[in-house]
């Protein structure tokens, strides 16, 4: 599952392999962001195996760390179907950052972080879209 307001260059195969090797229910693409920008992202804490132990959607406090969700998710299909169908449809809570990921962590599902080191920019605001557009028009764009 991919968010639509990001610009990045990623080969998904290594992330999928990582997901399968760990027998994960969910793998979240992540990368560090500046602390002053953490309020714009889902921020998580991981253990030594990169298993996500806490997830905070757009935290106001800067003390939650700076490891941000990239909005790139690899799910075990059965797990995703089960999580999306839990509860009555009129009361279903299906926001990934606010509902599904925290519920999976709390239930003990195997939720892992996949650290990405390539080019990735969130263009979910007018300012970030404008700045990124100008950067990519430059003589030597980072992408």
Angstrom distance (rounded) from CA 113 to CA 15: 10
- The Cα 106–Cα 78 span in angstroms is 18
Give the residue extent of every domain in the chain: 6-136
Q: What is the pTM of this model?
A: 0.88
Read off the pLDDT of residues 62-89 as tens digits, 9 standing for 90 and up: 888 899 999 999 999 998 888 777 754 5
Q: For residue 93, what are the contacts with CB-CB under 8 A and spacing of at least 6?
A: 87, 99, 100
Give domain 6-136's CATH number out of 3.30.360.10, 3.30.200.20, 3.90.850.10, 3.90.550.10. 3.90.550.10
> What confidence score (pLDDT) does residue 89 get?
56
Position 110 pLDDT exceeds 80: yes
């Amino acid at each position: 599952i991919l968010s639509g307001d990001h610009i990045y260059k990623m080969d998904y195969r290594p992330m999928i392999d990582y997901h399968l090797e760990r027998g994960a229910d969910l793998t979240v693409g992540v990368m560090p962001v500046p602390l002053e920008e953490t309020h714009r992202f889902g921020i998580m804490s991981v253990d030594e195996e990169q298993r996500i132990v806490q997830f905070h959607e757009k935290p106001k406090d800067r003390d939650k760390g700076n490891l941000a969700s990239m909005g790139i998710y690899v799910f075990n299909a059965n797990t995703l179907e089960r999580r999306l169908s839990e509860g009555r449809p009129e009361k279903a809570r299906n926001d990934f950052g606010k509902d599904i990921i925290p519920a999976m962590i709390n239930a003990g599902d195997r939720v892992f972080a996949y650290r990405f080191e390539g080019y990735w920019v969130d263009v979910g605001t007018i300012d970030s879209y404008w700045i990124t557009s100008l950067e990519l028009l430059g003589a030597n764009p980072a992408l």
